[in-house]
Structure 1
Amino acid sequence: MLKWIDMPPVWLTGALVLAWVQKTYFGFGLSFGPVWADLLGGVLVGGGLILIGLAISEMRRHRTTVIPHSEAERLVTSGIFKRSRNPIYLGDSMILTGMILYWGAVLALPLIPVFVWVIEKRFIVPEEDRLRRKFRATFAQYTNDVRRWV
């Protein structure tokens, strides 16, 4: 059961709930401004959703899992994975940042680096360790060519 609760969408939802609570109950009159934050927030959320969709589509095309704790059948290095080794997690971070901007949750800004840190420690490092063991030289070359985030 814990395996299914300890998933990136659950962590993202938790961070979003904290940001919403901050803006709703502890706003203290702070905001980013009326228009630009809404626009940038929308662009980030939309871009994050597109990144996630592209990554899932590419992983499905290669018939490998998108489940973080599962063993990958193939190393996907094409499509959006040519630009980022972790486009789904990057998309999650963009969604969190976008919603914080859109909501004007100024005091929730520290959630972004905390979320990135949690995702890196809980998911990215263990996933990369599994991929490194399974795909050895191919994964080593991939990590030399493509950055972890952007």
Structure 2
Amino acid sequence: MNIFRLPLLTWIVLNSIALYVLHVKNNFLWSFSGWMGILAILVALESFGWIAVSLYYFHCYNTSPNPTNKAKALITKGPFRLSRNPLYLAFTSMCISLALFTHSPYFLVSGLVFWLITDLYTIPLEERYLAEHFKEEWRQYSQQTRRWL
């Protein structure tokens, strides 16, 4: 199975690499102080909020957030009104939070790589399936709602 079909695993691997590089360089600093700490906490809370509410809607619609499982429903409510991919948005913004907490650009790089892989590979595969399976409902939804924000 291709790792890029599993965005959470991709995210974990990319951020583990960033963490490893910081550890090897003996440059791992975790800070909650100052404006960057406050901003990091706010971004992390925003990310966890997107994740929690998105998972709640997946549960309500009795469908799986796992992209390798076939969707049983097209979710267009809650955070899905603002973004077609709120979980991927949350993972990407969590990289920003990690970068702010550690004062390191490595997590920004991992976030950028995650965003590129997800935007260029994972999401098009998912959207192709949704377009075939939900046809008109998908067409309307994709025209009304942006892929990211």
Quick check: TM above 0.5? yes
| Correspondence for 1:135 | 134
Query: Partners of 1:142 and 1:25 in 2: how far apart?
Result: 46
Asked whether the equivalents of residues 4 and 122 of structure 2 are also in contact (C-alpha less than 8 Å), the reply is no
Asked whether the equivalents of residues 41 and 97 of structure 1 are also in contact (C-alpha less than 8 Å), the reply is yes
Structure 1 residues 28-82: Cα deviation after superposition (integer angstroms, max 9, x where no partner): 79xxxx6222221221122111101101101110111211112111111011111
Asked whether the equivalents of residues 22 and 108 of structure 1 are also in contact (C-alpha less than 8 Å), the reply is no
Query: Partners of 2:15 and 2:38 in 1: how far apart?
Result: 18
1:1-150 residue pairs with structure 2 within 5 A?
2=1, 6-26=5-25, 35-150=34-149
TM-score (norm 2): 0.87
Query: Partners of 2:109 and 2:93 in 1: how far apart?
Result: 14
- Name the aligned partner's letter for residue 18 of structure 2: A
Partner SS, residue 76 of structure 1: coil
Structure 1 residues 78-133: Cα deviation after superposition (integer angstroms, max 9, x where no partner): 11111110000001111111111111112443222211011123321101110000
- When residues 144 and 5 of structure 1 are mapped into structure 2, their CA distance, relative to the original with a 3 A threshold, is closer
Give the RMSD, CA atoms, in angstroms: 2.6
TM-score (norm 1): 0.86
Question: How many residues were matched structurally?
Answer: 149
- When residues 75 and 24 of structure 1 are mapped into structure 2, their CA distance, relative to the original with a 3 A threshold, is same
Structure 2 spans left out of the alignment, 5+ residues: none
Asked whether the equivalents of residues 44 and 94 of structure 2 are also in contact (C-alpha less than 8 Å), the reply is yes
- When residues 42 and 15 of structure 1 are mapped into structure 2, their CA distance, relative to the original with a 3 A threshold, is farther
Query: Partners of 1:64 and 1:97 in 2: how far apart?
Result: 29
Asked whether the equivalents of residues 15 and 96 of structure 1 are also in contact (C-alpha less than 8 Å), the reply is no
